[in-house]
Amino acid sequence: MIQIKKIFHRGDYRIAIYFPIDAGLKKKVRQAGAVWSQTHCCWYVAYSKEKYNELQVIFPEIKVLKDETDTSQTPADPDPAIIPPGNIASGILPDPDNPLPPAVSHETATVPVYGNWEGKLKLHSDIGKYWVLGIPYIEKTSKALLSIKGVYWNKKESAYLIIRHITVKTKVEALLGISNVLPANYYKSTEEDQYSTGEMIAGIHTTDKKTIKLTVPAVASLIQQVKRWQGVRFSKTDNAYILPATPDILINLATLAAQTGTRLVNQLPKGYVRKEYAPNRKKIKFTIVLDNLQKKTPVQAQTYVNAMMDYLMALNYSASTLRNYTDAFLNFLHQHQYKNPDDLTAVDIVKHLAKMMYNGLSASTADTLINALMFYYRNVLKRENFEIVLPRPKKEKKLPGVLTMAECFSIFNAIKNPKHRLLLLLGYGAGLRLDEIVNLQWGDILMAEFKIHLKAAKGNKDRIVMLPFSIVSYLENYKQLHEGTTWVFEGQYAGEAYSPRTVQQVMHNAVIKAGLEKKASVHTLRHSFATHLLEAGTDIRYIQGLLGHSSISTTTIYTHLTNTAVKKVQSPLDNMMNKINDKRKLE
């Protein structure tokens, strides 16, 4: 016999199926199209009359349990004989062959409510002045929750941050249609400061007079904003965030305080902040990369990894190369239990590469590892004649996606925000990479010469590209509206460049609004720029220079994408059929 019950799962009602551990019954429910739910520890099918009738045909004996949406009394639980109780403390995860109830984490409590939300709401440990509540995603519910002042979405926790105030608690519980979901440990404050998140204290940093020591309340949403600023780092010694002592940072702190209802306490003496204290952009990139690499490097590998990073920086390799080479080298050391690389042989390296390929890693990843190892053995260990006698892994040759001119136009036309439209127009019109778009400064735009001077682009190379005539007046008007800014596309806070992730989102939204079925990114505009130039008859050597390719072979890939070249070539099948048709006409 099986037991069935109505449940709410993955945003809709389902028929839950419970039965004793039995291979034959398991096979039958699969034939009915049932899927295993680890959340509810049961099999389930769609909640429909057709599925119910199908289950009655397959199983002659069915016991229907109480509908869980009826809140007049506690919903009936499945027969203990049908689902073994198991040992919750054992921590054994449920699986379809041994359906045990889910283990309860000491960090997360299941909120005991019924109705549509039964077993669905997870109340996590508090973060500062916030309750943390996990709720299954339903679009209408999510929009309604976020419209309540004091409720925020936290991506890291995958949960809602709800400020611990009685007014907010009442609104959230009323929206969900249930009471006592949130505990009573809320802050009792006056109406004026009910949404206040505390104080941010900006003081002098005794170790480095060019920086500010900022103490921030333990509020996740506030900390996330501070961490976004350029040149910010956290000091465990000071238990505070260290920021560049610049006027822009003070403006950003005042803006953030106004947005979040936080009180800003400025303890800095007059003249402490200066514009010249702004950190070098290259230094910021290296600081971020070095911090991330050092965090993931275990103690036993620090000697080898630090030596490699020192040589890479001394030889002026870019921050991205530093990250890629060190990551590959760290993975190699990990696979060999962090032994001294000087004791490893070429045979060990070949075995490691073979294992990488077997695990399905790309040829480009293997190529990076070979370059990293060659660099380490030749530069750090001073084995100048070191060579990995192995053909480089064969790379997959993939053609980049390209848009037609009509499709590019439809994307630009779908954007209403002038700033968003301009950055995509520049990306396509000059063939720029994503980083090159967001790092553009007004000093790089040579309006009178119709040129753009790209500095320290990929490979630490400068290059001159065209500035399209059609957007010069557009750019001049835009500049008048943004007087006094360094960046062409300034970010949310003063003195910051635009976020690359935001540009990607702008492109993604524009493609959807334009109704295109193709997958297209910001880099697709660059591919389209090169392809359209080639179709117009531009010499491939000029295109190579505009794109900043070191090798002409990289640029020649666009010859496979041009419609003009393809149209000139006729398939032998078409040629044969044309001759047959001509012969028939003559007959």
Predicted confidence (pLDDT) per residue in 114-160, tens digit = 345 656 788 887 776 788 888 887 778 888 888 888 898 887 667 88
Is residue 526 annotated as part of the catalytic site, yes or no?
A: yes
* Residue in the block written with tokens 């040589």: 311
Q: What is the pLDDT of residue 391?
A: 55
The one-letter code for the residue type at 247 is P
Which among 209, 305, 201 has a CA at the least distance from the CA of 257? 201
Per residue in 190-219, pLDDT (tens digit) is: 333 333 457 889 999 988 888 999 998 877
Is residue 532 annotated as part of the catalytic site, yes or no?
A: no
Average pLDDT over residues 181-194: 57
How far is it, in rounded angstroms, from Cα 81 to Cα 471? Answer: 74
C-alpha neighbours within 13 Å on the C-beta side of residue 295: 7
Q: What is the pLDDT of residue 482?
A: 76
Q: What is the pLDDT of residue 325?
A: 93
User: How far is the CA of 190 from the CAs of 114, 133, 194, 477, 570, in angstroms?
Assistant: 34, 25, 6, 47, 80
Average pLDDT over residues 101-111: 38
Report whether 298 contacts 305 (CB < 8 A). Answer: no
The catalytic position among 124, 171, 526, 527 is 526
How far is it, in rounded angstroms, from Cα 471 to Cα 174? Answer: 52
Lowest mean pLDDT among 323-327, 375-379, 549-553, 575-579: 575-579
Q: What is the pLDDT of residue 566?
A: 52
Question: Can you read off the two tokens belonging to residue 102?
Answer: 């889910």
* Coil, helix or strand at residue 246: coil
Is residue 433 annotated as part of the catalytic site, yes or no?
A: yes
507: pLDDT strictly greater than 90: yes
Per residue in 397-428, pLDDT (tens digit) is: 566 788 889 999 999 999 988 889 999 999 99
pTM for this entry:
0.51
CA angle at residue 175 from 74 to 153, to 5 degrees? 110
Is residue 458 annotated as part of the catalytic site, yes or no?
A: yes
Q: What is the pLDDT of residue 392?
A: 53
105: pLDDT strictly greater than 80: no
CA angle at residue 317 from 433 to 381, to 5 degrees? 145
Return the higher-pLDDT residue of 44 and 557: 44
Average pLDDT over residues 41-55: 84
Q: What is the pLDDT of residue 386?
A: 80
453: pLDDT strictly greater than 60: yes
The one-letter code for the residue type at 38 is Q
Which among 286, 292, 340, 277 has a CA at the least distance from the CA of 314? 286
Return the higher-pLDDT residue of 388 and 108: 388
Per residue in 283-294, pLDDT (tens digit) is: 777 887 888 888
The catalytic position among 5, 40, 433, 532 is 433
Is residue 164 annotated as part of the catalytic site, yes or no?
A: no
Return the higher-pLDDT residue of 6 and 190: 6
The catalytic position among 339, 458, 479, 508 is 458
Return the higher-pLDDT residue of 308 and 19: 308
579: pLDDT strictly greater than 80: no
484: pLDDT strictly greater than 50: yes
Q: Share the mean pLDDT of the chain.
A: 78
Return the higher-pLDDT residue of 281 and 340: 340
Is residue 114 annotated as part of the catalytic site, yes or no?
A: no
506: pLDDT strictly greater than 60: yes
The catalytic position among 28, 419, 463, 549 is 549
Which among 8, 5, 9 has a CA at the least distance from the CA of 66? 5
C-alpha neighbours within 13 Å on the C-beta side of residue 265: 12
Q: What is the pLDDT of residue 511?
A: 92
Per residue in 509-554, pLDDT (tens digit) is: 999 999 988 889 999 999 999 888 888 888 888 888 888 887 777 7
Q: Centre a 10 Å sphere on the Cβ of residue 164 and count the other Cβ atoms it contains.
A: 20
How far is it, in rounded angstroms, from Cα 340 to Cα 344? Answer: 7
86: pLDDT strictly greater than 60: no
The catalytic position among 44, 160, 277, 558 is 558
Q: Among residues of the chain, what percentage have pLDDT more than 70?
A: 82
